């Protein structure tokens, strides 16, 4: 009887310790500028010259992807929204398919900051991008391909940049889909404050 009680106590203790450690793996830190937590809001813009969206069999790349976001802290947590996304000079890896139109829809897209195992990530929710392809021999010609879902990107404090890749999506358990299949998004984005924190370094 005593042995069973000891085992039971041990199990309960292990569960309690596990429960106390679990929340520590995921945290919600604030936005900072030069090490100081953001007060009020700030508008940040940036670009990516290496952005691509891959639907199995077709990759769409843009020479420039410009974005604008508005950031704030709520209860000590970094939040915000993407208010503008512009795709420029986009093409595909197929000679048969051209990009007639590519636009971000249903803006603004909410975003938040999380740390996973002490590494900061930016989670963008409500993503919606529509692409119209052209080309007489393109399988997707005159078809509007709609990409939707959630995107998770790695925030690098050293360079104040955000990286989106297959690895960051896997780590954050986020996903974009189109035509019933996963879409891979690769992009490396700069950040630049344009309000009262212009010239200061964005950090998490």
Residue 25 has a pLDDT of: 56
On whether residue 5 sits in a domain, the answer given is no
The DSSP string of 154-202 is EEETTTTEEEE-HHHHHHHT-EEEETTEEEEEEEEE--EE-STTTTSPE
Q: Are 65 and 82 in contact (CB under 8 A)?
A: no
Q: Which residue range is the domain that position 157 belongs to?
A: 26-203
- Cβ-in-10-Å burial (0-12, 13-18, 19+) of 72 comes to middle
Q: How far is CA 17 from the centre of its chain?
A: 32
Q: What is the pLDDT along the chain (204 residues), one digit of tens a residue?
A: 544 444 444 444 444 444 443 444 578 899 999 999 999 999 999 999 989 999 999 999 999 999 999 999 999 999 999 999 999 999 999 999 999 999 999 999 999 999 999 999 999 999 999 999 999 999 999 999 999 999 999 999 999 999 999 999 999 999 999 999 999 999 999 999 999 999 999 999
Residue 189 has a pLDDT of: 98
On whether residue 6 sits in a domain, the answer given is no
Q: Are 68 and 43 in contact (CB under 8 A)?
A: yes
On whether residue 158 sits in a domain, the answer given is yes
Dihedrals phi, psi of 39, to nearest 5 degrees: -115, 135
On whether residue 100 sits in a domain, the answer given is yes
On whether residue 183 sits in a domain, the answer given is yes
Q: How many domains does the chain fold into?
A: 1
Return d(Cα 201, Cα 180) in angstroms, integer.
39
Residue 14 has a pLDDT of: 45
Return d(Cα 103, Cα 138) in angstroms, integer.
20
Return d(Cα 60, Cα 43) in angstroms, integer.
28
On whether residue 8 sits in a domain, the answer given is no
Q: Which of 126, 130, 98, 125 is nearest to 113 (CA)?
A: 125
Residue 11 has a pLDDT of: 42
Residue 18 has a pLDDT of: 45
On whether residue 19 sits in a domain, the answer given is no
On whether residue 20 sits in a domain, the answer given is no
- The per-residue pLDDT for range 9-38, each reduced to its tens digit, is 444 444 444 444 344 457 889 999 999 999
Return d(Cα 47, Cα 51) in angstroms, integer.
9
């Amino acid at each position: 009887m005593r042995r069973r009680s000891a085992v039971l106590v041990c199990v309960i203790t292990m569960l309690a310790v596990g429960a106390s450690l679990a929340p520590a793996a995921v945290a919600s830190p604030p936005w900072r500028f030069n090490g100081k937590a953001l007060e009020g809001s700030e508008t940040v813009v940036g670009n990516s010259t290496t952005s691509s969206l891959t639907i199995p069999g077709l990759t769409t790349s843009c020479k420039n992807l410009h974005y604008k976001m508005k950031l704030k802290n709520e209860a000590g947590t970094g939040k915000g929204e993407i208010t503008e996304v512009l795709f420029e000079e986009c093409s595909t890896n197929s000679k048969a398919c051209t990009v007639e139109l590519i636009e971000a829809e249903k803006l603004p897209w909410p975003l938040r900051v999380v740390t996973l195992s002490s590494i900061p990530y930016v989670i963008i929710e409500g993503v919606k991008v529509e692409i119209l392809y052209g080309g007489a021999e393109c399988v997707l010609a005159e078809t509007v391909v709609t990409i939707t879902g959630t995107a998770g990107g790695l925030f690098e404090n050293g360079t104040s940049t955000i990286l989106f890749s297959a690895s960051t999506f896997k780590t954050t358990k986020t996903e974009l889909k189109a035509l019933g299949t996963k879409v891979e998004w690769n992009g490396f984005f700069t950040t630049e404050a344009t309000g009262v924190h212009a010239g200061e370094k964005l950090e998490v």
